[in-house]
Structure 1
């Protein structure tokens, strides 16, 4: 089992090394060329496209970090304004927003780190697995070719004949044993290096004030929209049914002495209207704050939500306690919105929902095997980002064409009501 894990880590490391070196060089060159073209104006249109490509490249690494080594790397990109202009003016405006976003500069700095340190740390697991193969080839007989052409060193072993060739094989075996033991750790080290550069280290005072101002406005707008929705649902649903029930009761009062049979029909109708009104009120209350969320917490509420999905959802939850009620509510409706979007637009056959708590951070990941191509600037994901932003939460989306799509949400919070159990299952 350990050998298999080490071999997988070696192959993944080799792929990452090629991906790191090639991708970083390509995007560094494109960024430099596009910046030079700014002088003649063309760069104002090409640079936003290049920077979006860099974000895609970074988001792919975020997905691989989570899937291969369970390292979560938040994106924390600033959302574009909903009223951003289109056309040439919109491209210039987008460039301004991307240049003022600290996450953009973290991405560009990471390209240089990834090209050198990222390449080395990714290649180490592959080297510990592949280099020993040369030692075995030397022991079998390749030493004759090397000694015929001059002295040859395999690591610290000077190969001059069969006995020293066997020493090369022995050294290769030692390297392989080390690789079997440390390869998964080395692969994780690569992703931790990526996280140290890509993840936001903290906000300065000016940026913090801007973020708080933006999230305050978003919270006020969201609350106002929610109140309007509740008012509309009450007016069009339960209120209308209660008015109709009142009219039926008035008619019953007038008919009960003269036409008892007709009055009985109206009583049955009024009873049916009261049942419908009560059901609508329950649905409305559930939409404001689901009872299972208040009684059982986010984990059980998420499982109940997954049960209502027409697509198979594999739920993995590891929460050592409960988050504050406001955080649980925001997380619940964010999960609901993401799952609904997957069902509507992704064409997925399977969804994975992971909820855990690490480093004082509630972490939620929704992955699907759908067609991909999700737009992070769309109204649905932007609304989720604003909801999470009220609690200093972040949302990261990786959705290359053809899939898979991975939506990661993180909310800083403290847990209470400690427990020790965790659970998982397919719904």
Structure 2
């Protein structure tokens, strides 16, 4: 338990340090460019630079949304209004694009977030890092650095360090701070992302409108998917089990005619009929398993995912912390989403290991699928990840993908639900 907490706090401190240095530098740079670009709009130059700068701001904000989801499980919806597909080319198109960006309330919230990220956000990131780094200073002081400050005491918080004894006192204080940092570093980093969510997320009425639009879209997709699935089942039954059962019935009619005239031939045909019935039964079982796996119905989502992992050609580890069971449709959607994610890993990631984590917290079923493959996975039209996103959208769920070139890839899924 101690090693796990230490590892989590150390990772949070490293991420806080990264955000306080790299994230702060990017926020300052984009803020300066945004102010200059907006100021140049009356001169005409800003019409060409503003879309570029604001798109960079949005990419920066989207990256922070991704880190919020993957680092601290903080969901920040994307509130941007879509651009029309018939934007005019040339100068007129640039003017229209700039106008649309400036009319979007999310643009101004992004610009305000840059200011907050440079101040309160940076402070929280620094605190998350300092909680684990500051105790190291006490260790260095006690190890001998105090000699440098023998004539002019160095204050480690409220301890003046000018001797070995005071150096050891600073070390004792550092140990206390270290234990506090192990418990507080991750929550402080989460506060950083919660602060970002207050500005990067949509307003309440915008979020409701987005949910209605998204649920309407996913409902239509779910209806289309259900109709397509019914046609597939009908086709599989017609071409598979039904054809075998018809052939078996014909064979039984022939056997009935031969049973007295040619018992040997009738016996051979009985064996064929038995073989056909076994194949038809196997096909029906496969078909039922594709609709709703028996292990999912009998044992629940955790064991069903473990059964999936056992069939993978790569080493797989599954961690499950589910104190109860979700409703059947939610479990089915989560199961097939994990199945699709694992299939993508096997097909495209060239991974050696994959880890699946399932847990429930704050009214959310959270699932992450992480592999050590080559990365580069994106959510795009026609990809398996797009199918997962549509499947989760039916239940107001979300999908986040972190997959830099060279890996690792982390696919995070969230579905709001209650457990029985």
Q: TM-score range by the shorter chain?
A: 0.7 to 0.9
Partner of 2:29: 29
Partner of 2:17: 17
Partner of 2:388: 384
Shift of 1:138: 6.7
1:7-86 → structure 2 map (5 Å cutoff): 9=9, 13-14=13-14, 16-26=16-26, 29-30=29-30, 33=33, 36=37, 39-41=46-48, 44=51, 48=55, 51-52=58-59, 54-56=61-63, 58-60=65-67, 62-63=69-70, 65=71, 71-74=72-75, 76-77=77-78
Contact 2:319 2:358 in 1 (8 A): yes
Name the Cα RMSD after superposition: 4.2
State the aligned residue count. Answer: 400
Matched, 1:399 2:403: yes
Which range moves more in the overlay, 240-249 or 401-410?
240-249
**Which of 124, 131, 134 is matched with 1:125 structurally?**
131
Shift of 1:2: 5.3
TM-score normalised by structure 1 residue count: 0.78
**Which of 351, 355, 374 is matched with 1:352 structurally?**
355
The change in CA–CA distance for 1:279 and 1:43 in structure 2 (over 3 A counts) is farther
Matched, 1:136 2:139: no
Shift of 1:47: 5.5
Contact 1:139 1:165 in 2 (8 A): no
| Higher-RCO chain (CA-CA 8 Å, sequence separation at least 6) | 1
CA distance in 1, matches of 2:47, 2:24: 25
Structure 1 gaps, min length 5: 66-70, 417-427
CA distance in 2, matches of 1:241, 1:7: 58
Partner of 2:275: 272
TM-score normalised by structure 2 residue count: 0.79
Provide the secondary structure at the position in 1 that maps to 2:316: strand
1:295-314 → structure 2 map (5 Å cutoff): 295-314=298-317
Partner of 1:422: none
Matched, 1:193 2:191: yes
CA distance in 1, matches of 2:76, 2:246: 50
Structure 2 gaps, min length 5: none
* Structure 1 residues 291-324: Cα deviation after superposition (integer angstroms, max 9, x where no partner): 1111121122111121111112111111111111
Partner of 1:68: none
